Structure formats: structure tokens, C-alpha cells
Homo-oligomer: A and B are copies of this chain.
Amino acid sequence: MRRELSVGEVARRAGVAVSALHFYEAEGLIRSQRTPSGHRRYGRDVLRRIAVIRVAQAAGLSLREIEQAFATLPEARTPTAKDWARLSAGWRDLLSERIRQLTRLRDDLTGCIGCGCLSLDQCPLRNAADRLGEDGAGARLLVE
């Protein structure tokens, strides 16, 4: 089989749109060689990169964070299983933390059902929500 893949092939195999591949490339998440005429050619490892991108997105990471993680991969060679393992280990911890937060939020929600305290400072739910909000995107808490 051919070693190099065209955008269309990658799109089909990875289940993403061609435009998304262009976008990822523009954002520095994937790279391509070009044929003399300017068409993109990808090594097979791009499929794994894209799979990893999708998994990380599902885990709640932004493309920026994924890009930063990718920046720790070796430039010179195709990343090995070990390289990927390092990334996924970090993300697993992050996922665990996120699961912990959501679980807490759910439990507080359960405990607070009908308690009427939702607008009060003492409510664990409000505070849980605030804590969660802190690591959200954008500066939402303008209260100093």
C-alpha cells in the first residue's frame, strides 16, 4: 500500500471533513508534505494524531491544549507508543479530575433538590459551580 495519503483519503479514514484537516494544519496540530504541484501528502501517523485529537476533544480539551501536548512529542521521528502513552497519562489524570468535579456537582445537585438554598452563599451547589467555573474558558468571574 502507498505510504502517503491525500487529504481526501485522510478525511475519509479519520472521519473528519477536509476543511477540518486544513484547519488543524493551520493551527499547527498536524503537518503535511506537498507534492510538486502543491497537493498535501500525509504520513500514516497523521491518522493517529487525528484520533488522538478527537479523543482529547471528547475529554474536554481545547485545540490549544492539545497543540501544547503535541509540542512535547519528538520533532525528528514518528512518535512511538511510549510518546503517546505519556500524553494520554496526563489526560487521564485530567479526566479523573473532571469526573471528580462533575460527580461532586451531581451529588450536590441531588442533595440540594428542593432544598431552596440555591441562591444562598452557603449552598454547596453554588460554590461547586463557582469552583468549576474558574477553570472554564474566558474570564467570567469579574468579582474581585
Contacts and interface: CB of A to CB of B under 8 A. Distances in A.
A71 B59 CA distance: 30
A133 B102 contact: no
Given A114-B81, A119-B51, A129-B58, A99 B102 contact: yes
B48 A118 contact: yes
Interface stretch (A27-35, A62-70, A136-144): A136-144
**Copy count, this protein chain:** 2
Contact of A15 (B81, B91, B110, B130): B130
Given A47-B119, A51-B126, A118-B51, A88 B113 contact: yes
B88 A112 contact: yes
Interface in A45-79: 45, 47-48, 51-52, 54-55, 57-60
B85 A113 contact: yes
Contact of A102 (B45, B59, B129): B59
Interface of A: 12, 15-17, 20, 44-45, 47-48, 51-52, 54-55, 57-60, 81-82, 84-85, 88-89, 91-92, 95-96, 98-99, 102-103, 105-106, 109-110, 112-116, 118-119, 123, 125-126, 128-130, 132-133, 136, 140-143
